Amino acid sequence: MRFFRQTGSKIKRSQLVEFSFNGTTYSGHLGESVTVALAANGIITTRITHDGSPRGAFCFMGSCQECVLLIDGLRIEACQVALSEGLIVQSIGCLIAEQKAKGDENV
């Protein structure tokens, strides 16, 4: 499942730019929110809670914190960040997995 950018005849969008999410390259429209860029690419799970359940963007106004990702190294609500060329986006869970892979059991 994914979000759909609607394409009515009168709707004109900005150019496509590339960004990465957890190491994979995707494209999205310059200036759209990172949440929308991800969801339009089929990535609607933004985080996995400590008890293992998946979550996605919920409020789209920067307040529920469900869409917080590491964007260029900083934790920020992805729904509040405008997409630009070359953004490096990572999920926090991915970071924890990396640490576990390195053998750290305490994460």
Partner 1 sequence: MTKNYDIAIIGGGIMGCATALHLAQAGMSVILLEKDDIGQGASGVNAGTLSLQIKRVKLMPYALKGHHEWQKMGDKVGFVKTGGYTLAFNEREAKLLEERMNLKREAGANIEFVSPQILHKNEPNITKKIVAVSYCADDGYANSSLTGQYYRNLLNHSSVDYFEQSQIIKIDQSDKGFNVHTANPQYKAKRLLLAGGGWMKQAAALLDIDLPIQARVNTVSVTERSPKLISNVIGHATGLLTMKQKANGSILIGGGWQGTGTPNDGRGKVHSQTVIPNIQLGQYALPALSALRIIRSWTGFEANVPDFYPLAGALGNVPNAYILGCVRGGFTIGPYISKLMGDFILGNELELPLFDPNRQFTQTGK
Partner 2 sequence: MSDFDLIVIGAGAAGSRAAMEATKAGAKILLLDEQAEAGGQVWRAKSPSIISAPKTPETIAGDKLRSDLKLENILHIVNARVWQIEKNNDDLWNIGYLNNGHLHNVTCKAIIAATGAQERVIPVTGSQLPGVIGLAAATALFKQHLTTPGKQTIVAGCGPLLIFTAYEILRLGGKVCAIISLNSKTNWAKASIDMMTRPDLLWRGATWFAKITAARIPIYWQSTVTEIIGETHIESVNISAIDANWSATSHGQKNNIKADSLCMGHGLNPAIEATKLADATHIYSPELGGWHVKTDDFGRTDKAGLYAAGDNAGIYGAGAAPYRGKLAAIAALQFLNIGKTQNTDKLVAKMKSAAKFGLATTKLTILRKGMIENTQQTAIICRCEAVSRQQLEAEISSGAHSPNAIKSGTRCGMGPCGGRYCNDVAALINQTISGKTRQQIGLTTSRPPIRPLPISAIAQNFDYDDLPIPAPAPL
- Tell me the three state secondary structure of residue 80: helix
Given 33, 38, 78, 89, the residue binding partner 2 (CB under 8 A): 33
Where does this chain touch partner 2 (CB under 8 A) — which range of 2-10, 19-27, 98-106? 2-10
Measured distance CA(92)–CA(99) in Å, rounded: 11
Given the rule CB under 8 A, which of 19-27, 28-36, 94-102 is the region that contacts partner 2? 28-36
Which of 50, 101, 102, 105 binds partner 2 (CB under 8 A)? It is 50
Determine the Cα–Cα distance for residues 58 and 70; give it in Å rounded to an integer: 18
Amino acid at 101: A
Pure H helices in 22-91: 34-40
Q: What is the contact surface with partner 1 in residues (CB under 8 A)?
A: 50, 68, 70, 73-75, 92, 95-96, 99, 104, 106-107
